[in-house]
Amino acid sequence: MEMRRVSGWFTLKGKSINSIAYSFHRLTGMVLLLYLIAHLSFLTSLRIGEETYTAFISTTVRPETLPLDSLLFLATFYHAFNGLRVVLNEFGLLYEVRKALIYVMTLLALIFWLYSTYMMYVFVTGW
Amino acid sequence: MSESHTRKVLEPFGWVFQMITGLLLFAFVIFHLYITHLTSHDALEYAKVVERLSNPAIKAFYWLFLASASFHAFNGLRAVLLDTDFGARNEKAVNALTMLLFLIAVVYGGLLLLAF
Amino acid sequence: MEREVLFRIRRFDGEKEYWQDFRFTARKGMTVLEGLYFIKESLDGSLAFRASCRMGVCGSCAVKVNGKPRLACETQIFDVGDVLEIEPLDNMPVLKDLVVDMDGFFRKHEAVKPYLIRKDDDYKNPKELLQTPKELHAYYDFSLCIKCGACYSACPASATRSDYLGPAAITAAYRFCMDSRDEGKEERLGLVSGSDGVWRCHFNAECSEVCPKSVEPAKAMQKMRLMSAIHMIKSIFR
């Protein structure tokens, strides 16, 4: 029963672009929460010692994990720009142009995503 | 009494701080990515990380970043949980648990930062 | 202009849910409600749906057409297409076919005290309450709500939390808070600022998309929440 209802956050049939933006915001938010927990736990290795830390870095920062980094950037920038839109709208600003704002913010997120993926590619492959 | 007071404080402040931390994170994340990936190619090496974290300004920045990010994340989780009937039934527990997780993240991260 | 259309209706007989197809010839200009009446009169008399005024005033006939909640009487069949999937509204228990139990929806409406609250209420000696056109326009758009339940059906927060007041009730609260004749703002702010109130909205804004009267519930909700936040934060420091 509960799970069927939670699907209401991700039901898009008959819904507008607003709901798509909302669903992605919630999805990326939860992904970023999990990432934050993983990231903070990972940093504990700094305390354990150099060897553990370096071992972690060499398994996670390499060309093979680039697609995952790219997905993380996509989630981050989507959540950031869409969040900015929500802040503006929740303060009653730009309410009338809320749909146009979704396209603008998504476009900005995509530009940041492509740029950051490119920079990450340069970073992991060496320059 | 205390329960209603907590709810009264947490709901409006949660909403306001979710926005404030969200806006702060915008700048923080970009700065964090800049210093870890764009300044030099060996920015993630152990010695470099330790060197960075021994700078008090960077230390303060990371602590603020940690506080903002963990508040935003766990308050977001609180909102997601309270959006469900399950959350409505266990409102007190959801509030306490998410705020506790936030505090643990801030304190643990703070101790980690102090170690450098 | 006439052509054959398919009405695919999600039915419920009290025990089981099933889809039933009805094919008939529709005329240009025929509404979904007229289609439902045609089915009931000529094809299957057991079909249950709610309707009354046939002109978008009473708010009885809201159903989901191809997933989107709309008034059946204000939706022309040919504007939607040749295949129409018709379902009862979401987030309310289905009683039979397209008829949902709106009791909870109305109880929530009632809970925010959607009427003028005045200290000088005196029904024995009624007096005229004056209002300028500017004061009227502060809330007029939000007073056009016909309680059809379309926003409540589209709202993802209402979908997952059954005690959430919902867009319609909070819009009604805002409408009365903005009324220059009203003195019950504090009381109403207390009623909508619990965890089942304004904080559950995350600006999905689907309510404003589906509202057949363009009441803009999403706008009222944001203003109501800002008002609640300011009010509550002020009251902590008072």
Domain parsing of chain B, residue ranges: 2-114
Q: Please report residues of C whose CB lies closer than 8 A to that of B14.
A: 199
A22 contact C CB<8A: yes
**Cα C24 from Cα A25, distance rounded (Å):** 42
Q: Please report residues of C whose CB lies closer than 8 A to that of A25.
A: 202
Q: How many of the other CB atoms lie within 10 Å of CB of B5?
A: 10
CATH of the domain at A26: 1.20.1300.10
- Cβ atoms of C105 and C95 within 8 Å: the answer is no
Query: Cα distance from C34 to chain B (closest Cα, Å)?
Result: 38
Q: Please report residues of C whose CB lies closer than 8 A to that of A5.
A: 159-160
> What is the maximal distance between C-alpha atoms in chain B?
56
Of the pLDDT bands very low, low, confident and very high (cuts 50, 70, 90), residue C207 is very high
C202 contact A CB<8A: yes
Comparing CA positions, the residue from C113, C109, C197 lying closest to residue C148 is C109
**Cα C156 from Cα A22, distance rounded (Å):** 9
ipTM over 0.95: no
| pLDDT at residue C238, rounded to an integer | 73
Region A42-68: what's the mean pLDDT?
Answer: 84
Q: Do residue C233 and residue B15 have CB atoms under 8 angstroms apart? A: no
**Cα C48 from Cα C128, distance rounded (Å):** 44
| pLDDT at residue C125, rounded to an integer | 86
Query: Which residue carries 């009264």 as its tokens?
Result: B8
For residue C68, the surrounding DSSP H or E stretch is strand C68-71
Of the pLDDT bands very low, low, confident and very high (cuts 50, 70, 90), residue B38 is confident
- Cβ neighbours of residue C122 closer than 8 Å, sequence gap 6 or more: none
Q: Please report residues of A whose CB lies closer than 8 A to that of C156.
A: 8-9, 11, 19, 22
Q: Do residue B22 and residue A90 have CB atoms under 8 angstroms apart? A: no
Whether domain C2-100 has CATH 3.20.20.150: no
Residue of A nearest to C199 (CA): A90
Of the pLDDT bands very low, low, confident and very high (cuts 50, 70, 90), residue C121 is confident
pLDDT tens digits for C41-89? Answer: 999 999 999 999 999 999 999 999 999 999 999 999 999 999 999 999 9
Q: What is the dihedral of CA B68, B73, B79, B81, to 10 degrees?
A: -150
C141 contact A CB<8A: no
Q: How many of the other CB atoms lie within 10 Å of CB of A63?
A: 10
Those chains having 3 or more beta-carbon pairs within 8 angstroms of chain A are B, C
Per DSSP, which regions of C60-122 are E strands? Answer: 62-65, 68-71, 83-87, 94-96, 99-100
Pick the CATH number of B2-114 from 3.30.70.2740, 3.40.30.10, 1.20.1300.10, 1.20.58.340: 1.20.1300.10
Domain limits, chain C: 2-100, 103-237
Where is average pLDDT lowest: A106-110, B4-8, B99-103, B104-108?
B4-8
| B5 has a pLDDT exceeding 70 | no
**Cα C165 from Cα B88, distance rounded (Å):** 13
When the pLDDT of each residue in chain A is averaged and rounded to a whole number, the result is 89
A20 contact C CB<8A: no
The two tokens of residue A101 are 């704002």
| B12 has a pLDDT exceeding 70 | yes
Where is average pLDDT lowest: B42-46, C190-194, C196-200?
B42-46
**Cα C225 from Cα B27, distance rounded (Å):** 26
Residue A90 has its nearest CB partner, among C68, C206, C222, at C222
Region A40-52: what's the mean pLDDT?
Answer: 84
| pLDDT at residue A3, rounded to an integer | 54
Region B85-111: what's the mean pLDDT?
Answer: 93
**Cα C37 from Cα C73, distance rounded (Å):** 11
Residue C226 has its nearest CB partner, among A8, A25, A92, at A92
pLDDT tens digits for C136-164? Answer: 999 999 999 999 999 999 999 999 999 99
Q: Please report residues of C whose CB lies closer than 8 A to that of B7.
A: 194-195
- Cβ atoms of C148 and C52 within 8 Å: the answer is no
The two tokens of residue C74 are 């204000």
Number of folded domains that form chain A: 1
Helix (H, G, I), strand (E, B) or coil at C160: helix
**Cα C176 from Cα C194, distance rounded (Å):** 18
Residues on B contacting A at a C-beta cutoff of 8 Å? 19, 22-23, 25-26, 29, 33, 37-38, 41, 44-47, 49-50, 66, 69-70, 73-74, 76-77, 80, 83-86, 105, 108-109, 112, 115-116
| B85 has a pLDDT exceeding 60 | yes
**Cα C156 from Cα B78, distance rounded (Å):** 16
| pLDDT at residue B25, rounded to an integer | 96
| B2 has a pLDDT exceeding 50 | no
Those chains having 3 or more beta-carbon pairs within 8 angstroms of chain B are A, C
Does this model's pTM top 0.95?
no
Query: Cα distance from C172 to chain A (closest Cα, Å)?
Result: 18
The answer to the question of residue A7 being in a domain is: no
Which of B5 and A61 is assigned the larger pLDDT? A61
Residue B114 burial (CB < 10 Å; 0-12/13-18/19+)? exposed
C64 contact A CB<8A: yes
When the pLDDT of each residue in chain C is averaged and rounded to a whole number, the result is 95
Of the pLDDT bands very low, low, confident and very high (cuts 50, 70, 90), residue A125 is confident
Residue at C140: amino acid letter: Y
**Cα C84 from Cα C51, distance rounded (Å):** 18
| pLDDT at residue A4, rounded to an integer | 59
**Cα C228 from Cα C69, distance rounded (Å):** 29
Percent of chain A with pLDDT over 90: 57
The answer to the question of residue A70 being in a domain is: yes
**Cα C51 from Cα C72, distance rounded (Å):** 9
| C105 has a pLDDT exceeding 80 | yes
| C178 has a pLDDT exceeding 70 | yes
Q: Do residue C226 and residue A91 have CB atoms under 8 angstroms apart? A: yes
Query: Which residue carries 């093979």 as its tokens?
Result: A64
| pLDDT at residue B6, rounded to an integer | 47
> What is the maximal distance between C-alpha atoms in chain A?
55
Q: b or e along C107-122 (b: 16 or more beta carbons within 10 Å of the residue's beta carbon)?
A: ebbebbbbeebeeeee
Cα angle B41, B46, B47 (rounded to 5 degrees) comes to 90
| A1 has a pLDDT exceeding 60 | no
Q: From residue A80, give the alpha-carbon distance in Å to each of A25, C31, C94, C194.
A: 9, 43, 39, 28
Residue B88 has its nearest CB partner, among C196, C202, C225, at C196
Whether domain C103-237 has CATH 1.10.510.10: no
